[in-house]
Amino acid sequence: MHHSKPAHRFLCSEVVFLARTDQVNGCAFPSNLEEIGEDFAEVLADRAFPGGSAVRIITKTSMLQGLVHSCSRDELLGFFVRIKLQPESRWSPDSFMPKHMLTLDYSTPKASALKMASGY
């Protein structure tokens, strides 16, 4: 199966809360939303979230729900938690706009304007 990058990805920085919804008394932990797309989000947290965990991302104005796809530890920063958003919880800029947004557009291939180096 071929997995392609989403056409639009957004790097961002927004303080959010991340909570497990598959546990009784799932506490919400302060985290930072690092990247978001229509069907995924990546959050930097200070604790690990197991793969497959049901989670909720809580912002000042909205809430997104999904399942933890992966969680990787960075020695200096913490845990990067990749979340696959539920179909009913898809993200769009109309629903919530994170601060400090940078759009990455992969919809059209880019060609380099540089000529190939000689001698190779």
pLDDT attached to residue 23: 79
27-57 pLDDT, tens digit per residue, is 899 999 999 999 999 999 999 999 999 999 9
Q: Which of 75, 79, 31 is nearest to 51 (CA)?
A: 79
Q: Which of 115, 113, 57 is nearest to 90 (CA)?
A: 57
Q: Which domains does the chain have, with CATH numbers?
A: 12-88 (2.40.10.220)
Give the pLDDT mean for 101-117. 58
Asked if 39 and 3 touch (Cβ cutoff 8 Å), the reply is no
pLDDT: is 78 or 100 the higher one?
A: 78
12-32 pLDDT, tens digit per residue, is 999 999 999 987 777 899 999
pLDDT attached to residue 21: 93
57-74 pLDDT, tens digit per residue, is 999 999 999 999 999 999
